[in-house]
Amino acid sequence: MKAVRFHEYGGQDVLRYEDADRPVPGDGQVLVRVAGTTFNPIDAAIRAGYMRQAMPVTLPHTPGIDLAGTVDGSGERVIAFLPMLADGASAEYVAVDRGLLAPAPANVPLADAAALPSSALTAWQALFEHAKLEPGQRVLINGGGGAVGGFAIQLAAQAGAYVIATASARSREAVRAQGAAEVIDYTAGPVRTDRPVDVVVHLARGDASAIVEQIRPGGVLVSAVGPVEADGIRTIPMGVRSDAAQLAELARRVEAGTLKLDISARYRLADLPEVHALGEQGALRGKVVVTVRD
Ligand SMILES: NC(=O)c1ccc[n+]([C@@H]2O[C@H](COP(=O)([O-])OP(=O)(O)OC[C@H]3O[C@@H](n4cnc5c(N)ncnc54)[C@H](OP(=O)(O)O)[C@@H]3O)[C@@H](O)[C@H]2O)c1
């Protein structure tokens, strides 16, 4: 089968589009024919070797933590958030634990459904498991223009929260359409809200001090980008986990038309090195889908 793998850590040029053995599913696993996967910032960090202590992958490694495809044999249309250390979905086939699979939404092209798993699960878990968001609360999504941010805005607005998002000009319309009542351009100076917020979902790296100042005493900041130090508020660093039941609910919302996928670009599998390069330059917004099979 064709796959994109890296045999050593390094820049995007270590990614090779090449022939690889089709994986053999182990106990409790199924073989999935991949329709699509995505680019996530963590893919570049793993490939570069920045994560080699915390996340030691076996080389050669196939990246791609988001999966949309069909179960080999049955043709069942499925999606999954794959374990980060296992070989991923940047290949024609991947072996997956059956328990990770959720039904793909029927109303979007199958490859596009790969835009959902890791980003939407991160948004869901940040808002509802960690921040325990309640209707009427004011929430600031810092990094609203990104893949996780787009889902977080929609899910928070649908839960009855008042949503403020940070975004630059290129993402302003998208975050408005997703349900942000206010948009703050983070490139125009330190982020300031008119009134304090109850919850921050923190999705952008860099100095968080201006963001922390917008939170009311006793409020909460959930960070997907590492620990944040702050007095008088709760700060919760999070790591997303696979959850097939949550993913099925998210897929149901896509199918119902209440949760939209913000796909900014689609690339072929062979173009994955280019996607990594663009990602590392900060040139990507929304979600980028990598189409493996039409
Ligand atoms: N801990 C976890 O479990 C977990 C899970 C998923 C993701 N993450 C991390 O969370 C972060 C977001 O993930 P993602 O997939 O959404 O990333 P992404 O799609 O690559 O985010 C890109 C967006 O970030 C926005 N951005 C860049 N600098 C910003 C700043 N200073 N302030 C506000 N927004 C800024 C840009 O928005 P504009 O277009 O508006 O300029 C850009 O569109 C990444 O660092 C990722 O590694 C962690």
Distance between CA atoms of residues 77 and 248, nearest Å:
12
Give the start-to-end residue ranges of the domains of the chain. Answer: 2-116+261-291, 119-237
Name residue, tokens 């994986």: 23
Topology, domain 2-116+261-291: Quinone Oxidoreductase; Chain A, domain 1 (3.90.180)
The pLDDT, as a whole number, for residue 294 is 72
Q: Do you know the residue count of the chain?
A: 294
Smallest CA-to-CA distance from 116 within 242, 212, 16, 20 is with 242
Report how far ligand 1's centroid is from the alpha carbon of 201 (Å): 11
Contact between residue 249 and residue 105 where contact means Cβ atoms under 8 Å apart: no
The pLDDT, as a whole number, for residue 132 is 98
The pLDDT, as a whole number, for residue 246 is 98
The pLDDT, as a whole number, for residue 47 is 98
- β-pair partners for 274: none
Distance between CA atoms of residues 152 and 154, nearest Å:
6
The pLDDT, as a whole number, for residue 291 is 98
Q: Which architecture, in CATH terms, is 119-237?
A: 3-Layer(aba) Sandwich (3.40)
Report how far ligand 1's centroid is from the alpha carbon of 205 (Å): 8
Six token digits for residue 66: 């988001």
Return the SS3 of 104.
Answer: coil
Q: Ligand 1 pocket test: which of 168, 173, 263, 278 has the largest number of ligand atoms within 8 Å of its C-beta?
A: 168
pTM greater than 0.75 (yes/no)? yes
Q: Which atom of ligand 1 is nearest to the CA of 150?
A: 16
Residue nearest to atom 46 of ligand 1 (CA): 41
Strand 182-184, strand 197-202: pairing = unpaired
71: Cβ below 6 Å to ligand 1? no
- pLDDT per residue, tens digit, the chain (294 aa), is 999 999 999 999 999 999 999 999 999 999 999 999 999 999 999 999 999 999 899 999 999 999 999 999 999 999 999 999 999 999 999 999 999 999 999 999 999 999 999 999 999 999 999 999 999 999 999 999 999 999 999 999 999 999 999 999 999 999 999 999 999 999 999 999 999 999 999 999 999 999 999 999 999 999 999 999 999 999 999 999 999 999 999 999 999 999 999 999 999 999 999 999 999 999 999 999 999 987
Report how far ligand 1's centroid is from the alpha carbon of 195 (Å): 24
Report how far ligand 1's centroid is from the alpha carbon of 216 (Å): 23
